[in-house]
Amino acid sequence: MKIESRLAQIGSISEPVTGAVSFPVYQATAFRHPKLGQSTGFDYSRTKNPTRTILEQAIAELESGDAGFACSSGMAALQTIFALFSQGDHLLVSLDLYGGTYRLLEKIMSRFGVTATYVDTDDLDALEANRLPSTKAVLIETPTNPLMMITDIEKVAAWAKTHGLLTIVDNTLLTPFLQRPIELGADVIIHSATKYLGGHNDVLAGLIVTKGKELSEQMAFLHNSIGAVLGPQDSWLLMRGMKTLALRMERHEYNATKISEFLLGHPMVAEVFYPALPDHPGYGVQNRQSSGNTGIFSFKMKDARTIEPILRHIQLIAFAESLGGVESLMTYPAVQTHADIPEEIRRKVGVDDRLLRFSVGIEHVDDLIADLTQAFDAAKAELE
């Protein structure tokens, strides 16, 4: 069955008693045992909850993996994945990284002796040069946030396999509707489902998908032992969002493409970073490994002084962090999402004080362009 149909039908045939088309919320932590030595398959909701199970089966199947795990946030999912590693282990990680992932690695995992080196994960020479005897995994974001750098997943996963390293892909920005890294050789997928999968700026959640029996069993053990699991209400809300993922992603991509073209031709804009644009360095790889583009991109203004008034004048577009929801949000990475990344690293990757990140929603594209136009005009008038 095509992915659009599978998304729309999540949980729809799974409730055998009443036939409810929307899978119920099992708001229970404990489950009665029929008799000694018997179980319904559910004992205690940290280990397994029926509503969460439907979500976990859905994401595992959508990502072509063997097991899915729903966590209380994307960061909880990352923490659970990082618990695969032990003192002395080393990771190779994408240079232009989500700020929270960088903070978790540098401020917390480092205290437990798990270290990371940040490299351009699309560059095999750089990966090889930074590989240590203690390296255990490569963690890839593609496209990266906010600079939309692309990594060739198949190439890196093949390299990682020859060295016995796990390939972990943060697939938050594209979702399995547009990109399925396990089909390209990855072992572990992580999602901040708070973003496109949930899609409505109203539920915080993380998802993990694993490939392979041993890795899936190991992750199930960590997920239950750490306990940063998703509650049944939020599991249901997330599934509700996922049912419309295909429609939303198509509109996000359409709007983002139109607006990136508009910005590219605007005299106040210096650069636009969006892999749907043919002169983006990752255009070819992105086209090959994904079936479309995300709805978020970044752009650099020519004059840093225009940033403050633009953020003050946008009206329809909200000045807010996060991404991937139906409402358009604009953020200033250097002082918000990426504030925990040291300035030297930020400058090295290009997250500077002229960069704005735009999570394009599903509003009508004409209204979004009109809002940008009036905010740019107002900013220009103030500087004159």
The nearer residue to ligand PLP, 74 or 176, going by C-beta atoms, is 74
Quick one: the chain helix, strand, coil %, rounded to 5? 40, 15, 45
- Give the containing element (helix H, strand E) for 77: helix 74-82
Question: Under rule CB under 6 A, which residues in 305-324 are in contact with ligand PLP?
Answer: none
Question: Under rule CB under 6 A, which residues in 178-217 are in contact with ligand PLP?
Answer: 192, 194-195, 204, 206
82 binds ligand PLP (CB under 6 A): no
The nearer residue to ligand PLP, 139 or 259, going by C-beta atoms, is 139
| Residue 57 φ then ψ, to 5° | -65, -40
The nearer residue to ligand PLP, 58 or 189, going by C-beta atoms, is 189
Question: Under rule CB under 6 A, which residues in 149-178 are in contact with ligand PLP?
Answer: 170, 172
| 342-344-350-351 Cα dihedral, nearest 10 degrees | 30
Which span sits near ligand PLP by CB under 6 A: 50-58, 72-80, 128-136, 369-377? 72-80
148: amino acid identity, one letter: M
CB of residue 296 to ligand PLP, shortest distance in Å? 9
Q: Which residue has tokens 């940290």?
A: 46
The nearer residue to ligand PLP, 251 or 357, going by C-beta atoms, is 357
Q: Mask: binding to ligand PLP, 92-131, rule CB under 6 A, as x and -?
A: ------x-xx------------------------------
Question: Edge to edge, what strands does the sheet with 67-71 contain?
Answer: 67-71, 206-210, 188-192, 166-170, 135-141, 90-94, 115-119
CB of residue 170 to ligand PLP, shortest distance in Å? 5
Q: Which of 202, 234, 93, 215 is nearest to 151 (CA)?
A: 93
74 binds ligand PLP (CB under 6 A): yes
Residue 256 DSSP one-character state: H
- List the one residue from 145, 255, 257, 359 that touches ligand PLP (CB under 6 A): 145
CB of residue 273 to ligand PLP, shortest distance in Å? 15
Question: Edge to edge, what strands does the sheet with 355-359 contain?
Answer: 269-273, 296-301, 355-359, 329-331, 318-319
- Which parts of this chain interact with ligand PLP (CB under 6 A)? 73-75, 98, 100-101, 141, 145, 170, 172, 192, 194-195, 204, 206
